[in-house]
């Protein structure tokens, strides 16, 4: 008797009993539902330029979800890549390296008789030898008390824009247009540049030396966070994903800050 191969069996399937079509599933995973719920909060802030609160039933559901996300460390790690408004603050996420993968090879599946050249560093400096930045600027949360005086300012600036007293304009040439006391929009969130500790240095280039301005800033965001990112980094971020808010007359601007005690 001639033995049939698998091809013979499939070719002889007259009634199509072996035709199996993959099932499509519309069932969302728990992670999908988590991300969808968080995106609802993002969309609310995109539209209203503030976090949801408990003042109305329509917002309370989003307010409660955001509170629960902030209290759950695992949810924060899962949602941080989707946190475009920095609602979750700083989240420690461990990066998995090649060494981690190799060291976790309990069954020895990745072992070889000799070292592979791909894992030998020849022209690339090892991680320990790379220069590390002195500081990585991340947004940090502010308390209700700390943020109160800024909240009044942000509300007034939004009102000025609505009434046509201020305008949103394109932002470029940040060394000229990024100024202390200015308001800017970054990824849909308003920011206020409160202070900047700037220094000038000479930047050597083949085409000729240039004067470079940089230093730490204190930037307040309307979502109750602040950052001390570098001046140049802030400027480039606004150029990439933001706009500038025009000023009022000098006297009106001065009165606005004085009334909220921001100049003291």
Cα–Cα distance between 149 and 261 in angstroms, integer? 7
H or E element in which residue 142 lies: none
151 and 254 assigned to the same domain: yes
The CA-based angle 219-221-222, given to 5 degrees, is 150
152 and 184 assigned to the same domain: yes
Which residue in this structure is represented by tokens 């502010």? 142
The pair of three-digit structure tokens given for residue 66, joined into one six-digit string: 């955001």
* Residues 230 and 241 sit within 8 Å (Cβ to Cβ): no
Long-range interactions of 41-45: CB distance < 8 A, separation 24+: 41/65, 41/66, 41/87, 42/82, 42/84, 42/85, 45/85, 45/87, 45/188, 45/189, 45/223
What is the total count of domains within the chain? Answer: 2
Cα–Cα distance between 231 and 129 in angstroms, integer? 27
Does residue 15 fall inside a structural domain?
no
Q: What pLDDT shows up at residue 174?
A: 85
158 and 253 assigned to the same domain: yes
Cα–Cα distance between 244 and 246 in angstroms, integer? 6
132 and 187 assigned to the same domain: no
Does residue 9 fall inside a structural domain?
no
* Residues 219 and 191 sit within 8 Å (Cβ to Cβ): yes
112 and 219 assigned to the same domain: no
Burial (CB count <10 Å: 0-12, 13-18, 19+), residue 141? middle
213 and 243 assigned to the same domain: yes
Q: What pLDDT shows up at residue 211?
A: 77
Give the global pTM. Answer: 0.47
169 and 99 assigned to the same domain: no
Q: How many CB atoms lie within 10 A of CB 155?
A: 13
Cα–Cα distance between 225 and 157 in angstroms, integer? 17
Average confidence (pLDDT) per 10 residues, the chain, 264 residues: 60 63 64 88 91 86 90 87 87 61 55 51 46 53 91 93 92 89 92 90 69 88 91 90 85 60 54
Cα–Cα distance between 248 and 179 in angstroms, integer? 14
**Domain ranges, residue 55:** 29-89+91-137
163 and 242 assigned to the same domain: yes
Does residue 264 fall inside a structural domain?
no
């Amino acid at each position: 008797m001639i033995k049939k191969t698998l091809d013979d069996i499939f070719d002889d399937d007259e009634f199509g009993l072996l035709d199996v079509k993959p099932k499509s599933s519309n069932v969302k995973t728990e992670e999908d539902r988590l991300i969808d719920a968080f995106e609802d909060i993002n969309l609310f802030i995109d539209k209203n330029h503030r976090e949801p609160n408990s003042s109305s039933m329509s917002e309370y559901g989003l307010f409660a979800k955001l509170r629960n996300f902030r209290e759950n460390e695992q949810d924060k790690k899962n949602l941080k890549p989707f946190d475009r408004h920095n609602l979750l603050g700083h989240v420690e996420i461990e990066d998995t390296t090649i060494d981690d993968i190799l060291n976790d090879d309990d069954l020895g599946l990745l072992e070889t008789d000799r070292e592979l050249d791909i894992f030998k560093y020849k022209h690339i400096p090892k991680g320990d030898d790379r220069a590390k930045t002195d500081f990585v600027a991340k947004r940090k949360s502010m308390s209700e008390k700390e943020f109160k005086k800024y909240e009044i300012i942000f509300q007034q600036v939004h009102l000025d824009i609505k009434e046509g007293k201020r305008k949103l304009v394109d932002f470029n040439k940040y060394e000229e247009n990024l100024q202390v006391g200015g308001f800017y929009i970054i990824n849909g969130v308003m920011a206020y540049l409160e202070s900047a500790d700037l220094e000038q240095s000479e930047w050597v280039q083949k085409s000729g030396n240039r004067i470079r301005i940089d230093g730490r800033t204190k930037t307040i965001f309307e979502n109750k966070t602040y950052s001390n990112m570098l001046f140049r980094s802030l400027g480039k971020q606004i150029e990439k994903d933001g706009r500038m808010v025009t000023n009022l007359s000098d006297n009106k601007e001065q009165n606005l800050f004085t009334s909220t005690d921001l100049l003291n």
